[in-house]
């Protein structure tokens, strides 16, 4: 989830170089474009969306370097007017685009939402698997966690969950079977003891509600047996947990998901677009900014988020900001916490510190030092001493 860089001036002044590489406001390299460049998926000489990004989502990461840049995807084209962002142009002109047979899953270095990520890697493994085109409108990716701590003390893994519902298949001591996990509005803590594993399906924000037609507000902060929510799931949990490999588990789960009848839901696509903007644009820090951008009332936005996501828009905005903050701190962004707080949209450093401490359980600087210390310990065991 990377926010959108600030827009360029509509009329660049003398000496302006529209070909230079843009930089993300958090210091991450962004896209380099030339006026008239076609934006395509992986074609030579084209702009390249973030790996695995669907067209409407991926294009929200970038803004035009100058007015009149050509925007194309899947046969749709349009010229970006002065002052228009890629996100808004995408909403207006780009409906869909070509997708590969299987969308890429996040890489191993994507640790967003995982607290103390380097420490966790000493106690469990995490794999993510890509989603096929038949269900990727609703499902973001599959994931698998395994641990074997027999003879060792239990470990408590902590996560700041995304605003997503998960379908999980778990084998852990006395816990066995399939479960639907609603949006978790608190820090999620899972005890890893003995030997266990979980294979999960992460739905997109609002995806489970759209896929099932259910009001997911009733699942908030709850995990229920899958059969209570998906009565036709049958013995899928037994078959998934009996499968010897994650690829086979994915095939079984995706086969089940493909059999369910789904209706076209334009309201879900609106919710998905709003959630993507919240995740990616650091300028969106208040609910009234969201309602103004998308032309809906605060009451309607609250109702849609409860129905499809299970939590209110204010909480979703706050959660994305906290995830960004925790990720940047774990990566070593500690030189100027006041500037970090401002970049994330907080009123001041004290506001960020209070909110971070309340959610994570420790102050930002303490968390950063703990994460960096764990990273250095992991690195020292992998790399030989010079």
Max mean pLDDT range (48-52, 294-298, 326-330): 294-298
pLDDT for 240 equals 98
Angle at 249 between CA 183 and CA 131, to 5 degrees: 60
Distance between CA 165 and CA 167 in Å, rounded? Answer: 7
Concatenated DSSP letters of 217-251: GGGTT-EEEHHHH-TT-TTHHHHHHH-SSHHHHHH
Q: What is the 3-state secondary structure (H, E, C) of 61-123?
A: HCCCCCCCCEEEECCEEEECCCCCCHHHHHHHHCCCCCCCCCCCCCCCCCCCCECCHHHHCCC
d(CA 167, CA 199): 9
Write down the pLDDT at residue 109: 58
What is the reported pTM?
0.72
Would you state the pLDDT for residue 379? Answer: 47
| Residues 301-321: tens digit of each pLDDT | 999 999 999 999 999 999 999
185 bridge partner residues: none
Output the six-digit token pair for 129.
């698997």
- Rounded to the nearest 5°, which phi and psi values hold at 258? -70, -25
Q: Which has the closest alpha carbon to 137: 260, 226, 285, 305?
A: 260
Beta strands in the chain (DSSP E): 70-73, 76-79, 125-129, 139-148, 155-159, 166-172, 175-181, 188-192, 195-203, 223-225
**Residues 14, 61: contact at Cβ < 8 Å?**
no
Q: Which residue has the higher pLDDT, 72 or 215?
A: 215
* pLDDT greater at residue 67 or residue 141: 141
Backbone dihedral region for residue 137 (phi beyond 0: left; psi -120 to 50: alpha; all else: beta): alpha
User: What number is the average pLDDT over the span 14-18?
Assistant: 43
Residues 6 or more apart in contact with residue 118 via CB below 8 angstroms: 330, 371, 374, 375, 377, 378
The per-residue pLDDT for 104 is 60
Q: How high is the pLDDT of residue 53?
A: 38
Beta-ladder partners of 127: 144
Average pLDDT over residues 346-352: 92
């Amino acid at each position: 989830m990377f926010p959108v860089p600030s827009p360029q001036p509509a009329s660049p002044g003398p000496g302006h170089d529209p070909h230079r590489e843009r930089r993300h406001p958090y210091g991450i390299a962004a896209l380099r474009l030339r006026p008239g460049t076609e934006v395509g998926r992986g074609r030579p000489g084209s702009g390249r969306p973030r790996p695995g990004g669907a067209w409407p989502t991926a294009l929200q990461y970038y803004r035009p370097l100058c007015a009149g840049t050509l925007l194309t995807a899947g046969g749709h084209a349009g010229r970006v007017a002065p002052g228009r962002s890629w996100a808004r142009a995408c909403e207006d002109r780009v409906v869909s685009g070509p997708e590969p047979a299987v969308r890429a899953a996040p890489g191993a270095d994507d640790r967003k939402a995982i607290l103390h990520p380097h420490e966790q890697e000493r106690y469990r493994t995490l794999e993510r698997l890509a989603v096929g085109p038949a269900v990727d409108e609703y499902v973001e990716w599959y994931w698998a966690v395994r641990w074997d701590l027999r003879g060792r003390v239990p470990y408590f893994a902590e996560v700041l969950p995304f605003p997503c519902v998960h379908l999980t298949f778990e084998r852990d001591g006395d816990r066995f079977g399939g479960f639907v996990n609603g949006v978790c509005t608190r820090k999620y803590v899972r005890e890893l003891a003995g030997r266990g594993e979980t294979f999960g399906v992460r739905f997109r924000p609002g995806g489970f509600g759209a896929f099932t037609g259910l009001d997911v507000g009733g699942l908030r902060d709850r995990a229920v047996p899958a059969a209570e929510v998906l009565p036709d799931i049958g013995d899928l949990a037994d078959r998934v947990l009996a499968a010897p490999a994650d690829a086979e588990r994915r095939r079984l789960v995706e086969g089940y998901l493909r059999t369910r009848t789904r209706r076209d839901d334009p309201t879900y696509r609106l919710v998905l677009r709003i959630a993507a903007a919240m995740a990616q644009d650091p300028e969106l820090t208040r609910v009234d900014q969201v309602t103004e951008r998308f032309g809906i009332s605060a009451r309607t936005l609250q109702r849609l988020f409860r129905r499809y996501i299970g939590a209110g828009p204010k909480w979703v905005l706050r959660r994305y900001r906290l995830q960004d903050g925790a990720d940047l701190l774990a990566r070593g962004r500690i030189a100027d916490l006041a500037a970090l707080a401002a970049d994330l949209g907080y009123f001041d450093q004290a506001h960020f510190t209070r909110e971070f401490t309340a959610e994570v359980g420790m102050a930002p600087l303490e968390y950063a030092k703990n994460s960096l210390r764990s990273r250095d310990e992991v690195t020292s065991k992998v790399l030989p001493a010079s």
